[in-house]
Amino acid sequence: MKHKIGNGRGTFFWWDNWAPRGPLSTRFPSHILTDRGFNIDIKVDNFIFNSTWSFPHCIVSAIPELLSLSSPNSARNDKMVWIASPSGTYTLKSTSAFLIGQQPRVPRQNLVWESPVIPRMKFNLWLAVQSKLPTLDSKSIAQHENICVFYRAQPQTHDHLFFKCCFVSPLWRFIKQRGHFYSSITNWDDLIQYTSNQWKKNTASNLIRKICFFSIVYHTWETQ
């Protein structure tokens, strides 16, 4: 948060975030004020006269950035603004962009978050498409074998569990025959890429395919 100065009555000169480079208290020693006879809790309005800044030379010489301040507006009160938002109003989107920067939208966004399924299935698939579900190959607990719980001849990876396992393969074949949604795909990552690209339109057939897809992944994971 940052104080946008109006008449200066609602902002502490030393403590609040109003100066161009942030709170003065975090960057300067307090004796800059006290040695010159000013109270540490002085308000900004003490340095405003007729809507212009009126800093003593001793203060400006110690804090030169005060010379670059735009003129205050004594006709209005001070205002708190959200730095991360261009409008000054808090939004989750602007804050996220401020913290991590603008990120390109990944193709799977349409598949995962714009599908008409219950939230826990969306969250489950969101982890699965990133290979973030705790399959045995990603678990750090030493006593777990890295072996599929359904087909013990194979390691339990995302690719095996959700695509190649003998438990789930018949389900994919059934959906393929009824839904015609993939042909020569050979691994889990390619399946995600294909479905993300092919199911962008919210047609009735695509919605049914998405529901089937989410259900297979969710119940396969729940069963194991």
pLDDT at 46: 92
Instruction: Give the number of C-alpha atoms closer than 13 A to the C-alpha of residue 104, restricted to the C-beta side.
Output: 3
Using CB atoms within 10 Å of the CB of residue 210, give its burial: 0 to 12 exposed, 13 to 18 middle, 19+ buried: buried
How many angstroms separate the first and last alpha carbons of the chain? 47
Do 139 and 173 share a domain, yes or no?
Answer: yes
What's the total number of domains in the chain? 2
Q: Are the C-beta atoms of residues 223 and 135 closer than 8 Å to each other?
A: no
Do 181 and 121 share a domain, yes or no?
Answer: yes
pLDDT at 138: 55
Distance CA 82, CA 2 (A): 6
pLDDT at 142: 43
Residue 197 belongs to domain spanning: 108-223
pTM exceeds cut of 0.85 = no
Do 53 and 127 share a domain, yes or no?
Answer: no
pLDDT at 40: 92
Do 124 and 197 share a domain, yes or no?
Answer: yes
Final residue of a structural domain among 68, 100, 132: 100
Do 121 and 143 share a domain, yes or no?
Answer: yes
E strands within the chain?
2-4, 48-49, 52-53, 79-81
Do 116 and 187 share a domain, yes or no?
Answer: yes
pLDDT at 160: 77
Final residue of a structural domain among 100, 125, 156: 100
How many CB atoms are closer than 10 A to CB 25?
A: 16
Do 123 and 84 share a domain, yes or no?
Answer: no
Series of mean pLDDT values for 10-residue runs along the chain (224 residues): 92 94 91 89 92 90 90 89 85 83 75 85 88 64 57 71 78 72 72 82 84 86 76
Tell me how far CA of residue 49 lies from CA of 15, 65, 67, 73, in angstroms.
21, 19, 15, 10
Distance CA 53, CA 70 (A): 9
